[in-house]
Copies of this chain bind each other. A is one copy, B any other.
Amino acid sequence: MHVPQNYLYSLTGLPKTALNDAVVAMQRSDKMVESAAMNVRDVMLRPTTKDLAKAAGVSRATVDRVLNGRDGVKKHTVDRVNAAIQELGFTRNIQAANLARSQRYRFVFALPRSGDQFLSEIIRHISEASETFAADLVWCEVKHIDENDPHSISAFLATLDPAETTGVAIMAPESPQVRDAIFRLQERGVAALPFISDQSSMEEHWVGTNHHAAGATAATLLGRFCDAKEGSVLVISESMRSRDSLERRIGFDAEMNQRFPGLRALPSLETYGDEERAERVVHSAVANNPDLIGVYVLSSEARVPLTILYDTMNTDHLIKIAHERTPFTEDALREGRLDGVIAQDPGHLVRSAVRKLKAITDKRTAKGSQERIRVEVLLRTNI
């Protein structure tokens, strides 16, 4: 014998329509009969557009016009439908809607090209997320941009066709060109989301951590792990031109000055991704500061400067803090060559970006927009 899957069917044998009528009627009557009404609601019946139409006293065609913002509907009617939406607590069945219009989500991640281990991790997680979200009809693709050339970024964004691309997560430093390009993109109906690098022009939508807090946390670890009360701290960065680096540095300094006044954070050494230069600046900094007690690498690529440092001196007595979970930093933590890592989980970053892009395209007021990416602290024991 076959048992129908749906609970209500099996209970009552009634067709869905009749059941919904009953439920909607119950919901409309101000005095809800707690037990009965709640039970049925519990069984997860949701009002449909048909119910909405009935409640608002209009046709399904009109409901459709209102729901999808088509014009040619009198304001009075729009209001009536909206009232009914409120009254019934109607929410559109997104899966059905997507099915109907064959909506698929195709998201592009526009990332800098770089040999950076952190970026590789991000890319790995994008393809992983692509599989995870495949069931939700989400496709993700990585495109590389030249982070230092705003014009080419802007040109790239201009090529994106809303028919092909549902949304873009953009990891690029702020610049007027990029800001404008994002704006035009949105006008054309492509969702845009600053990713990891923030764009101050759109703070409501962005995915990434609080850099100030990240820097301050680095300072906390360094200061507290360090037994000495006095000494100087090396601060190394690939470049201080990006907002992220600046904010991290500011957060780091603030915490250092306030909590560990005896420790002196040296001016940032910039490597510009150039190994020779890195070697030069690190050597000279080490030579000039015999009272070193710690190192803070604030850019996402810690491998080059740290390797140089390990080769330059015995770092056992130094407290060493870096950013981002990468194969290098994980190993270094395990083997004690790093004392702490401040990280943002690449998996969360990617998944959060996908969820947000999806929410934007669905025009949902994303509850999930509150989801913040945590400033993670990694130690040897919790990798």
Contact = CB atoms under 8 A, between A and B. Distances in A.
B381 A219 contact: yes
A381 B216 contact: yes
A213 interface: yes
A374 B376 contact: yes
Contacts of A135: 91, 94, 362, 364
A147 interface: no
A345 interface: yes
Interface residues of A, number: 59
How many chain copies? 2
A44 B379 contact: no
A10 B161 CA distance: 13
A103 interface: yes
B382 A102 contact: no
A126 to B, nearest CB: 13
A367 B132 contact: yes
Given A214-B382, A381-B219, A102 B371 contact: no
Contacts of A345: 374
A200 to B, nearest CB: 22
Interface in A127-181: 128, 131-132, 134-137, 139, 163-164
A98 B101 contact: no
A7 B164 contact: yes
B102 A137 contact: no
Interface string A355-383: 00000001010011001001111111110
B43 A381 contact: no
Contact of A379 (B137, B377, B378): B377
A221 B6 CA distance: 52
Contacts of A324: none
A30 interface: no
A104 B376 CA distance: 35
A283 interface: no
Top 10 A-B pairs, shortest CB-CB distance: A95-B95, A377-B377, A216-B381, A375-B382, A44-B104, A7-B163, A217-B381, A217-B382, A132-B367, A220-B381
16 contacts: A10-B163, A42-B164, A44-B104, A44-B106, A44-B139, A94-B136, A96-B99, A99-B99, A217-B379, A217-B382, A220-B380, A221-B379, A224-B339, A376-B376, A377-B377, A377-B382
Interface of A: 5-7, 10, 16, 42-44, 91, 93-96, 98-99, 101-104, 106, 128, 131-132, 134-137, 139, 163-164, 213-214, 216-217, 219-221, 224-225, 227, 251, 255, 339, 345, 347, 362, 364, 367-368, 371, 374-382
